[in-house]
Amino acid sequence: MCTGGCAKCLGTTLIPLAVLCTLANILLFFPGGTVVENNLHITDEVWYFGGILGSGVLMIFPALVFLGLKNNDCCGCCGNESCGKRFAMFSSIIFAAIGVLGAGYCFVLSAVALNRGPKCYTGTEWTYPFQDGNYLGNHTLWNACQSPENVIPWNLTLFSLLLIMSGIQAVLCGIQVVNGLFGTICGDCKCCGCCG
């Protein structure tokens, strides 16, 4: 069944992305690669757990469902062997939608965090010294952050990774929505699968 094979390929791709998003979010709790003295000194968007919940935990469910679709027939139904596979492909559309929502949550949080910039010590207080992403193109503004050291490239790298990976996750789940529709309508196909 090529729709099941494609879903399995998508599930196999989503799992490492979910793990990497979770790790990136965990690393953001250590601004500049250091342990902070006060949790209030961590950028607010890190506490919304976009990489852990959105692109991590919520992505595991669709990935596991996609992995099991190739062999899932629910023992057939109503005397029709492919009926169970059609129902399984239909249910994968719901899980793919959950995956799109989780990835979208992480994507939006990452974009907001990149635009806002990191929270850092400016010499007088812990604040957000940048406005509307102005620090992205002007590296001289980075001198406004005195502590933690290297917090700007740290946050920039990790939130950019979260943005890219969550975007890929959303596209993969979107592909499964289309694949699930084909599997629901057409049922089995014995052609060469999209992923072997």
Which residue ranges make up each domain of the chain? Answer: 3-30+43-72+81-186
Would you state the pLDDT for residue 83?
57
Position 13: which residue type?
Answer: T
Residue 1: pLDDT band (50, 70, 90) is very low
**Cβ contacts of 147 within 8 Å, gap of 6 or more:** 120, 121
Average pLDDT over residues 31-38: 92
Would you state the pLDDT for residue 188?
55
Average pLDDT over residues 38-66: 95
Cα separation, 84 vs 63, in Å, equals 19
**Each residue of 62-102: pLDDT tens digit?**
999 999 886 655 444 444 555 567 788 888 999 999 999 99
| pLDDT above 90 (res 123) | yes
CA Rg, the chain, in Å?
21
Average pLDDT over residues 34-56: 95
DSSP-assigned beta bridge partners for residue 80: 77
Would you state the pLDDT for residue 18?
97
Would you state the pLDDT for residue 196?
44
**Cβ contacts of 48 within 8 Å, gap of 6 or more:** 109
Residue 189: pLDDT band (50, 70, 90) is low
Q: What is the helix (H) or strand (E) element at residue 127, kind and residue range?
A: strand 126-127
Which of 47-51, 103-107, 168-172, 184-188 is predicted with the least confidence, judged by mean pLDDT? 184-188
Which of 64-73, 150-159, 178-187 is predicted with the least confidence, judged by mean pLDDT? 64-73
